[in-house]
Structure 1
Amino acid sequence: MSADLFDIIVIGAGPGGCATAARISEARPDWRVALVETGPAKGNALVSAPAGIVGLVGRRNRHNYAYETVPQRDLNDRRGFQPRGRGVGGSSLINAMIYIRGQPEDYDGWAAAGCTGWGWDDVLPLFLRAEDNHRGADAFHGTGGPLHVDDLWTDVALTGDFLTAAKQAGYPPNGDFNGRTQEGFGTYQLFQKGGRRFDAGTAYIHTRRGPNLRLLPETQALRLTFENGRVTGVEVRHRGQTHMIFARREVVLAGGAFGTPQLLMLSGIGPEEHLRQHGIAVVADRQAVGANLQDHLDHISSRLVRGGGVIGTTPVGAIPLLRGLLPYLQGKRGNLSSNFAEAGGFVRSSPAVDRPDLQFHFTIGLVENHARRIILKTGISLHVCVLRPASRGTVRLATADPTGALLIDPCYLSDAGDLQTLVKGVRIAEHILRQPALEQHKGRPFRALDPQDDAAIEASIRAHADTIYHPVGTCRMGSDAASVVDPELRVRGVTGLRIADASIMPTIVSGNTQAPSAMIGERAADLILRSARKQDAA
């Protein structure tokens, strides 16, 4: 790679970066677009098989940064685990592939707070444009977009029994969490096609890339370059060699809630005192860079169960996987096409809450410590998280080395209300697991927990809860001068720089974050193209 000149440089190939780069390059074939990604160009066999998540999410590997948090005061000083995807596709390479947009009120709340153009009526057309739903098009779904969305390709008996149990517990069924209402329980639709993971890299880049889009995998962005307050390019390292690449028009950061603030701070954009502590020359004192970190803290209730399609690290638990090998090889059917988190639901923690504030994920296996602890038993797990936590954390540099560690501090449960809501969620989870449809399997609690004992539930949360992998918010969007980006996604304090990933969320969305991240990338592309038309016409 030699010094090169592009019209647009996108740094980070997660869902937001892939969407931004692809849409710009398609709309402007006369532009040269570069997509810079630290990880490899394509995923391995574990990535393509949905069940491969078990081998990817819990350990550091070529597709997983496997970060850790600083000790969490309100979680018994435990360090949390923060898996993040590495490669073209980003975290869509290693996640559970769940397609959720959030609630309309999430986006209307952004708009009401000053983020003009980000209300539900503004973003729904972007979701529809990005979607290719196997069920077809309607008022809430699109077809023909890059992101293929499909129903489960498995038929696990215990998943059906779980949904029956939720109904027995008094919760309504919901056949489409992205339809008219999110509330209720049902199976999740997934980013998959033909029983295989359909990650953002496959959707936007590998199947659609034109000759004007240059993919630069295994290339580490080191720092941004500036001239008279304008971002002109980026210094990168590829195969041990350092090079410069330059942008005629704009640079777009899409490294996610951790990578984007890290690169900003390494480049001198961030809290002045913190940058000086690391010997970094200050380009723009932006106190909000790395602040406002939000995440979904998750607690798991489990039962020891045998049969019914449950998967585990025992001879009995391996049978469904072995039986599923031939169907998967022949037609991508069977248990290897399962994302494990096949069903779930959205619930209000109390009648006084006007919309769901809890999300559940049901898994057909025992999950402990992000699948890093091997459990020689089989069972089922029911996750619950608080959808709109009030706790706020930070991301800070531990070193000025671009490949060095980060100080990730979600400050879980620093707001007492988050704990109170999560306790209610665990009560609901335990109630559902005790319904006749699941009791027929004669399961025993993996960890005994009395749903009427709030003190015991609180102790379990502090001892075991951790992320469900949705960090956002560290480069907050807003109309106020303190925000990191304005509603056009332009970074305040410099010119020629935008952000297109989940770090711009003012507040976290009510659900999984892959679809909203891609939507943000779609929106970023529109904003850049519109700005270019205005400049070219001037």
Structure 2
Amino acid sequence: MHKQAYDYIIIGAGSAGCVMADRLSQSGEHSVLLLEAGGQDRNIWIHVPLGYGRTFFNRTVNWMFETEPQGGLNGRRIAQPRGKGLGGSSSINGLLYVRGQREDYDGWRDLGNRGWGYDDVLPMFKRSEDQQRGSDPWHGTGGPLPVTDLPEKHPIAEAFIAAGVKAGIPHNPDFNGERQEGIGPFQATAKRGLRFSTAKAFLRRALKRPNLDLLTHAQVTKILFDGIRASGVAFVHDGKPMQVAAHREIILSAGAIQSPHILQLSGIGPGGLLRQFGVPVVKELPGVGENMQDHIQARFILETKKKITLNDDMANPLRQIRMGLSYLFQRKGPLGWWAGIAGAFIKTRPELDRPDVQFHLYPFSTDRKDRPVLHPFSAFTLTVCQLRPYSRGYVRMKSADPLVPPAISPNYLGDPRDAEVLAAGMQVARKVIATEPLAGIIRSEKEPGPGVSSDDELLAFLRAKAMSVYHPIGTCRMGHDADAVVDDELKVHGVFGLRVIDASIMPTLISGNTNAPSIMIGEMGAELVLRDATLRNSKAA
């Protein structure tokens, strides 16, 4: 049973929220309540790395949001899976640990966000990390989050890396080290063949403390205000409306889709939108829900000459048994793979100062429909992702009913420059595909196919087939201009006692996968909250 009031209330037990719950409860001085709309992380497929193929389409652990029809993608609606339950999206994602580029964070700092340059955030990354390879200037050990290598090599990944080097891409064994550019293996948040979500890494130990309470199946309906001070939270717990008060702060960590939605439901957002649905305006902030960015990808489906893919393992009962036994007794084999066993960060033009495209290599292939089924032929997938899209979209409430999902529109390919970068990246990918030893593995290019080569043909393919990489950010942008939502201490502009601490605060999309930066934001947010608590205590003394 929860208390009537806490020092801190955290909304959302996701990638950043679990970090916040751990760090704020660590000293024992502060009472903390963590509210999570989903349930416990007991689904077995959460903990098996390859299980993301199941959790991506399971409504018990996934909100399974969907975009509005996207004009740039022939009016298609695109899936936006978001974790529902302890660990949030860190419990259903592809596990990859990628921080982005130094220039990403220096860019945030140069926009006026003090304390968010690369040299400022690097200690936060290192504090979380327990790097399998040991500590160095870029990595930490002893943190709660294991970052590890895939325990075994795969022939397709080895051929891909060798071909990339031969095609002129520098080899890079560490995308989170001194430089990001190059081709090599990905690391992931896993240990001994098991996923390490933030629930497992941070929250599990924190729940042993008496000053932290957790409520699952508690869907927040609005943040309550006393004037312009956030005073409490209204939520539905197991079907019953409830409220709880906050003595100090409310921390919104519901993610890039739900954080702006909760703000809008609470009266913080574009005034016209709020009034349209009869929501009393607490503070008009036009940027709430705007500035949405997401990574988009094109996929090559490449048929192989030999049966060396997951498609083949799953098509053969004996190989399925061998796969299960290998995982059960050795924590090896396909069940222990993460989403992308190798990749690359490349420049599409030599004059660029840093990579603008990312490749992901998957040792299987699927049509990626609502219920994806592996192809009946031997094949792997190579994806091309534009790292820093120009297009901007939005998240906007569609009803005053908090149970009605918001309108989600990343505006994919809304800016024509995005298609240009993707097409250029596909040309580089084809160069690698045509280079030995990878070329010797491939029987044929099934998609987009050799007949798709001109700019117009590539654009048509992108509009028909491009998909999200599921990295939404930016909808509660950090900054100091009229459209910013939070300041560089992550405090919501124009009100008191409320911060947003999750991927929604990113001003621009980082150059890579977004889970590691979201965990860093949780670490940085906790540092900022605790610093204010120390100042408050010293003044009281």
Query: Contact (CA 8 Å) 1:384, 1:425: kept in 2 or not?
Result: yes
Tell me, yes or no, if structure 1 residue 133 matches structure 2 residue 131: yes
For the residues of structure 1 that align with 2:335 and 2:64, how far apart are their CA atoms?
24
Secondary structure in structure 1 of the residue aligned to 2:300: strand
More deviation in 9-18 or 439-448? 439-448
> What is the match of residue 247 of structure 1?
246
Shift of 1:309: 3.3
Query: Contact (CA 8 Å) 1:314, 1:377: kept in 2 or not?
Result: no
Tell me, yes or no, if structure 1 residue 480 matches structure 2 residue 478: no
Paired letter, 1:360: F
Paired letter, 1:436: E
Paired letter, 2:529: I
Identity %: 42
> What is the match of residue 196 of structure 1?
194
User: What does 1:65-214 align with in structure 2 at a 5 Å threshold?
Assistant: 65-209=63-207, 210-214=209-213
> What is the match of residue 528 of structure 1?
529
Tell me, yes or no, if structure 1 residue 238 matches structure 2 residue 237: yes
Paired letter, 2:433: L
Tell me, yes or no, if structure 1 residue 413 matches structure 2 residue 413: yes
More deviation in 112-121 or 39-48? 39-48
For the residues of structure 2 that align with 1:314 and 1:145, how far apart are their CA atoms?
36
Secondary structure in structure 1 of the residue aligned to 2:257: helix
Shift of 1:15: 1.1
Query: Contact (CA 8 Å) 1:232, 1:248: kept in 2 or not?
Result: yes
TM-score by length of structure 1 reads 0.97
Secondary structure in structure 2 of the residue aligned to 1:459: helix
Secondary structure in structure 2 of the residue aligned to 1:150: strand
Alignment gaps of 5+ in structure 1: none
> What is the match of residue 506 of structure 1?
507
Paired letter, 2:181: E
> What is the match of residue 301 of structure 2?
302
Paired letter, 2:429: A
Q: Judging changes above 3 Å, is the alpha-carbon distance between structure 1 residues 60 and 45 closer, same or farther for their aligned structure 2 residues?
A: closer
Shift of 1:345: 0.7
Deviations 1:70-106 (A, max 9, x none): 1111111111111111111111111110001100110
Tell me, yes or no, if structure 1 residue 455 matches structure 2 residue 456: yes
For the residues of structure 2 that align with 1:313 and 1:280, how far apart are their CA atoms?
54
User: What does 1:268-283 align with in structure 2 at a 5 Å threshold?
Assistant: 268-283=267-282
Q: Judging changes above 3 Å, is the alpha-carbon distance between structure 1 residues 279 and 317 closer, same or farther for their aligned structure 2 residues?
A: farther
Query: Contact (CA 8 Å) 2:314, 2:320: kept in 1 or not?
Result: no
User: What does 1:384-423 align with in structure 2 at a 5 Å threshold?
Assistant: 384-423=384-423
Query: Contact (CA 8 Å) 1:272, 1:286: kept in 2 or not?
Result: yes
For the residues of structure 2 that align with 1:229 and 1:142, how far apart are their CA atoms?
41
> What is the match of residue 62 of structure 1?
60
For the residues of structure 1 that align with 2:169 and 2:117, how far apart are their CA atoms?
29
Secondary structure in structure 1 of the residue aligned to 2:247: strand
Alignment gaps of 5+ in structure 2: none
Tell me, yes or no, if structure 1 residue 335 matches structure 2 residue 319: no
Q: Judging changes above 3 Å, is the alpha-carbon distance between structure 1 residues 451 and 352 closer, same or farther for their aligned structure 2 residues?
A: farther
Secondary structure in structure 2 of the residue aligned to 1:436: coil
Query: Contact (CA 8 Å) 1:310, 1:317: kept in 2 or not?
Result: no
Query: Contact (CA 8 Å) 2:113, 2:488: kept in 1 or not?
Result: yes
> What is the match of residue 468 of structure 1?
469
Query: Contact (CA 8 Å) 2:384, 2:429: kept in 1 or not?
Result: yes
Deviations 1:167-198 (A, max 9, x none): 22221111000011100111100000111101
For the residues of structure 2 that align with 1:523 and 1:194, how far apart are their CA atoms?
28
Q: Judging changes above 3 Å, is the alpha-carbon distance between structure 1 residues 126 and 315 closer, same or farther for their aligned structure 2 residues?
A: closer
For the residues of structure 2 that align with 1:155 and 1:281, how far apart are their CA atoms?
57
For the residues of structure 2 that align with 1:173 and 1:143, how far apart are their CA atoms?
24
Paired letter, 1:118: W
Deviations 1:41-87 (A, max 9, x none): 22411111111111122x24211111111111111111111111111
Query: Contact (CA 8 Å) 1:296, 1:467: kept in 2 or not?
Result: yes
Shift of 1:313: 7.0
Query: Contact (CA 8 Å) 1:427, 1:451: kept in 2 or not?
Result: no
Shift of 1:213: 1.2
Deviations 1:236-291 (A, max 9, x none): 11111111111110000001100100100010101111111111111111100000
Deviations 1:145-174 (A, max 9, x none): 111110002332211111122122221111
For the residues of structure 2 that align with 1:45 and 1:249, how far apart are their CA atoms?
37
Q: Judging changes above 3 Å, is the alpha-carbon distance between structure 1 residues 321 and 306 closer, same or farther for their aligned structure 2 residues?
A: farther
> What is the match of residue 220 of structure 1?
219
Shift of 1:371: 7.1
For the residues of structure 2 that align with 1:113 and 1:315, how far apart are their CA atoms?
49
For the residues of structure 1 that align with 2:191 and 2:36, how far apart are their CA atoms?
24
For the residues of structure 2 that align with 1:402 and 1:307, how far apart are their CA atoms?
51
Q: Judging changes above 3 Å, is the alpha-carbon distance between structure 1 residues 20 and 2 closer, same or farther for their aligned structure 2 residues?
A: closer
Shift of 1:108: 0.4
Query: Contact (CA 8 Å) 2:256, 2:503: kept in 1 or not?
Result: yes
Paired letter, 1:196: L
Q: Judging changes above 3 Å, is the alpha-carbon distance between structure 1 residues 314 and 99 closer, same or farther for their aligned structure 2 residues?
A: closer
Paired letter, 1:105: E
For the residues of structure 2 that align with 1:139 and 1:3, how far apart are their CA atoms?
44
> What is the match of residue 435 of structure 1?
435
Paired letter, 1:505: M
For the residues of structure 2 that align with 1:183 and 1:370, how far apart are their CA atoms?
32
CA RMSD of aligned residues (A): 1.6
Paired letter, 2:352: V
More deviation in 466-475 or 157-166? 157-166
Query: Contact (CA 8 Å) 1:426, 1:451: kept in 2 or not?
Result: no
Tell me, yes or no, if structure 1 residue 516 matches structure 2 residue 517: yes
Query: Contact (CA 8 Å) 2:6, 2:245: kept in 1 or not?
Result: yes
For the residues of structure 2 that align with 1:371 and 1:434, how far apart are their CA atoms?
32
Deviations 1:206-237 (A, max 9, x none): 13432211111111011111112100110111
> What is the match of residue 373 of structure 1?
372
Work out the number of aligned pairs and report it: 536
Query: Contact (CA 8 Å) 2:159, 2:436: kept in 1 or not?
Result: no
